[in-house]
Structure formats: structure tokens, C-alpha cells
A and B are shown apart, each in its own frame.
Chain A
Amino acid sequence: EPEVTQTPSHQVTQMGQEVILRCVPISNHLYFYWYRQILGQKVEFLVSFYNNEISEKSEIFDDQFSVERPDGSNFTLKIRSTKLEDSAMYFCASALRDSTDTQYFGPGTRLTVL
């Protein structure tokens, strides 16, 4: 069964550094999402991406964040200058073309900012 993959599984970085989290969505999916989960808290929506552009972003997704689909298979989340409060689990999700479809999640990347 096809699945969403994410790399790395765990990323440790110093405050102020740039990080890129990578996701490979299910191949025929067209809707892509990033969510994050701070330890012990609920999963929060960050951004949705469709047709090579952001369709919605949350208030968390400020200028330090960006997303890109550079090559038609990868979907990346970049944090330009990490803060301690960016430490969280980041989940990528994808859904098929139809608006009725379910989002399938990747295993997540645990980001630790020191």
C-alpha cells in the first residue's frame, strides 16, 4: 500500500539555524499539508498546498516558514531561523485530487531546537 514518507525521522539543530524537512507524498495525490504537534499538545494545521501554491496557512506559519514542491515528488517545509518553540513533531499529509478524500499522514519528523 502506498504511503507518505518523511525524512529525517529526527532532526536536532541549534537555535537560529535553517532546517528543511522533507516529505514524499503518495504519488498520485495533489493536496499537501504540514501539521505540527508540540509534545503533549494537539496536532495543529500549518499550511496547505495545491497546484503549486499555498491555499491556506495558519497564524503559526509566519515568514520564517516556507514550503516548496521542487521536483514533482518531494514536498518540503523550511524553517529559516529556528526558535526553541519550533521544537515539535512535524507531520506531512497528502490527499487525492477529490475534495472528499482522506488525508494520509507520514510518520513525522521530530525537530529538536537547542
Chain B
Amino acid sequence: AQTVTQSQPEMSVQEAETVTLSCTYDTSESDYYLFWYKQPPSRQMILVIRQEAYKQQNATENRFSVNFQKAAKSFSLKISDSQLGDAAMYFCAYRTLGGGSNYKLTFGKGTLLTVNP
């Protein structure tokens, strides 16, 4: 079974600075997807960024980028120019690529990000 580990329960960053959230995972599969979801105080889960394991290029989405190290099974999220609205719980998630019609997400425990003005 796959597992996802987020070793930082909490992180803080100053507004306009850069912060990196860590995620490691364990899998025996060679093809899969990785995601970062954001959960603000409103509790809705919002997709931040996704990475396909077969792509060597790191995904980017505006101020958000990932550092995907497949051999190390590491998938960190970098937030540049942090804004107050980035304050949220961030979840790293894994999803298998194939296996019929089941594509459940396996989540880490989350990292609570605080942005200080």
C-alpha cells in the first residue's frame, strides 16, 4: 500500500518570502500522480498543483512549483512571493495511474502554513 508522509506539521513564512513544504511517499509503482491540495479555513479542498511521475519536468503553476525527485520519492512544494491568502493546510496526495476504475487519493497528514504580514 502507498503511504504519504509530511514531516512538517506546521510552517510559517513572511509575506512575500518563499517557503518549501516537504512530502515523501512510498510506492512500488513506477507510474502515478502526485498532488498538492490546499485547505483554507473554509475547509474546501482546492487543487494547487499536480505532477505526473513519468514527466521529468517539474510542474509549475504561477507562484507554486514542485521539486519532484522520483528516485528519492520526494515531492516538495515551493510557494514564492507568499501572500496572506496562501495561509492554509496543505496536503500532499498520491494516486495510482492505473488499476481499473479506482483512482483513490492517499493523503499525507498535512502541513499548516501560516503567513505573517
Interface residues of B (CB under 8 A from A): 33, 35, 37, 42-47, 50, 52, 91, 93, 95, 97-98, 100-110
Are B35 and A44 in contact, with the CB atoms below 8 A?
A: no
Interface residue from B42, B95, B110 paired with A42 (Cβ < 8 Å): B110
Given A102-B50, A105-B45, A106-B44, A55 contacting B101 (CB threshold 8 A): yes
Instruction: Return the CB mask of A49-67 against B: 1 if under 8 Å, else 0.
Output: 0110001101000000000
Tally A residues with Cβ within 8 Å of B.
28
How many Cβ-Cβ contacts under 8 Å join chain A to chain B? 64
Interface residue from A35, A99, A100 paired with B105 (Cβ < 8 Å): A35
A-B contact sample (17 more), CB < 8 A, given A100-B33, A103-B95? A33-B105, A43-B93, A43-B105, A45-B104, A45-B106, A48-B102, A50-B101, A50-B102, A55-B102, A89-B43, A93-B105, A99-B97, A99-B101, A102-B35, A102-B47, A103-B105, A108-B44
